[in-house]
Amino acid sequence: MLNDIREDAKARMAKSVESLEVNFAKIRTGRAHPSILDSVKVDYYGTEVPISQVANINVEDARTLTVQPWEHPMIAKVEKAIMMSDLGINPATSGNLIRIPMPPLTEERRREFVKVARTEAEQAKVAIRNIRRDANGDFKALNKEKEITDDELRQAEDGIQKITDAFTAKVDELLAEKEKTLLEI
């Protein structure tokens, strides 16, 4: 029973870290990377689908992405979807290929992105701490029902704290890595 609570908490904390990684991928670093377009949805015959399901996305060079839709009628829709996204990038179409130049980031913009990254990391830490609180609450409920002893309660709480510390350290590590990539020119 204690292991079930511990494993559930661990799985939920891992999902928080995964969510943070997804959010970090949306923060532009000035370098071209296909994951930048992951949040872009395209109207494909009445259905909103991720851009990766209607086109090939490649990195042409360090600052340019290329998008090649599989169907010719999709070129205009893909281009419009990219322009309408909140990414602040402008595609240029030439024939069947859409080129997306990544504008270089100013120092001020980089600092703003670092603040956004820190906010995302703090939200992930709060989520992890909330999961710890929930698990500790479950442990205390078991103790109150006399299903576990006080010693088992203390051990379970210590175990959850160690798991929490490990996931918090992972968040800090991801944040440091993201800050480093954002601030390098």
pLDDT in tens, 107-131: 887 888 888 889 999 999 999 999 9
Quickly state the pLDDT bin for 10 (edges 50, 70, 90). very high
pLDDT for position 36: 77
CATH of 34-101, one of 3.20.20.140, 3.40.190.10, 3.30.1180.20, 3.30.1360.40: 3.30.1360.40
Cross-strand partners of 44: 47
Distance CA 157, CA 137 (A): 10
Q: Which of 150, 140, 185 is nearest to 31 (CA)?
A: 185
Q: What is the pLDDT of residue 12?
A: 93
Alpha carbon dihedral 52, 40, 33, 16, in 10-degree steps, equals: -100
pLDDT at 154 over 80: yes
Domain residue ranges of the chain, discontinuous segments joined by +: 2-26+106-183, 34-101
Give percent of the chain with pLDDT exceeding 70.
97
CA–CA distance, 58 with 52 (Å, rounded to integer): 10
Label residue 30 by pLDDT band (50, 70, 90).
Answer: low
Confidence class for position 59, pLDDT limits 50, 70, 90: confident
Per-residue pLDDT at 172: 93
- What's domain 2-26+106-183's architecture? Orthogonal Bundle (1.10)
Q: 2-26+106-183 with 34-101: one CATH topology?
A: no
The pair of three-digit structure tokens given for residue 95, joined into one six-digit string: 């024939």
Answer whether residue 106 shows pLDDT above 80: no
State residue 70 phi and psi, 5-degree precision.
-75, -25
Assign 64 to helix, strand or coil. strand
